[in-house]
Structure 1
């Protein structure tokens, strides 16, 4: 089977959908995890030695604006993942919208000294852009309802 023929098949749609689910799901899960850590630290119930990360030191340096941007990113990624699971057409614009708070959160995070050299944002951004391309492909093919 040629690549051109494969890309025109329903099987390709499902493969691209699975890739998009994995990428968006990883991002939504990551934001949900750090949201739980954020809430637990704010309530002072997070065990300080649970992970190799000074959560109390990090969250003591975040600003109210950074918290608002983080919550917006967290909510939008979870909404985009939910829409994708439902194969809704709304998944594409939601995921595109996630770019703004997601990048802003990363930029604000790197301004905190202990996160100054954090490269995970680049990986996150590349995954995000690949997922947007996958959803654009699925939207064009009529796979999303």
Structure 2
């Protein structure tokens, strides 16, 4: 004699595994982007002054420490190295210096020798969009 088994009917539901994968990928993407943008900002004490505008998209962020060292993306450089980076940025923008914006972040305790040499070098390359970063007073 054959006993009949009850058939269990499974309700079809939505598989959320692909959605979880996408959420994790987005999370990793935003963490990576945040870390890269923080790398460009060296810990320097900026002078306090009410800025004229919020930061816009920039091509290059150059940090000048208190002792006059130039730091770009966590790497210490000389003025000639920064000139080389600006030259590469000019090439990617079709050689138009109007499309390259450089933000110079100078420690308020630094002397003006290094920033002057840096700005002179940028001007000799035709870069006219040079912005000096300040800290907004509280």
State if a TM-score over 0.5 links the two structures. no
Bigger share in helix: 1
Bigger share in strand: 2
- Name the TM-score, length of structure 1 as normaliser: 0.29
- Name the TM-score, length of structure 2 as normaliser: 0.30
Higher normalized contact order (CA 8 Å, seq sep 6+, divided by chain length): 1
